[in-house]
Amino acid sequence: MTANETFNGWASYETWNAALWIGNDEFLYDCARNCVRFAQGENPWIKFQRVMKGAQTGSFIGATGDGVAWDHAAIDATEMEEMMRDL
C-alpha cells in the first residue's frame, strides 16, 4: 500500500482490525464505550489501551484476537478515538 491508500476505508490494516474487534466483541465494545464515558479528560483510546493492559480489568488483553497489539504504531489514534465516540 502507498501512503495514500487505506484499508477498507481505515488508515491501516491495524486500525481497521482494532476497530473491527471493538465493534464485534461485546466485552471490548462495552470497555470502549465505558472508556469514552469515564475518560475524565483523558483520550478514550489511550484509556482503552491502558484498560486492556489490566489496569482496571485485572487481566491482560494486549492485542486483538488476530494478534494486533492495541498500542501498535500503525494504529491511527485519531480514527480510533472518533470511532469510539460514535459507539
| The predicted structure's pLDDT at residue 60 | 80
Identify the band that residue 55 occupies on the pLDDT scale cut at 50, 70 and 90.
low
Whether residue 5 lies inside any domain: the answer is no
User: In this structure, is residue 67 part of a structural domain?
Assistant: yes
The mean of the pLDDT values for the chain is 90
CA atoms within 13 A of residue 46's CA, in its CB half-sphere: 6
Residue-level pLDDT at 56: 58
Q: Which domain holds residue 46?
A: 15-85
Q: From residue 51, how far is each of 6, 58, 67, 87 by CA, in Å? A: 28, 9, 17, 17
In the chain, the number of structural domains is 1
pTM, 2 dp: 0.87
Residue 69 lies in a domain: yes
Give domain status of residue 41, yes or no: yes
In a domain, 10, yes or no: no
Residue 6, in any domain of the structure: no
Domain for residue 25, yes or no? yes
For residues 6-21, average pLDDT: 94
Is 3 among the domain residues?
no
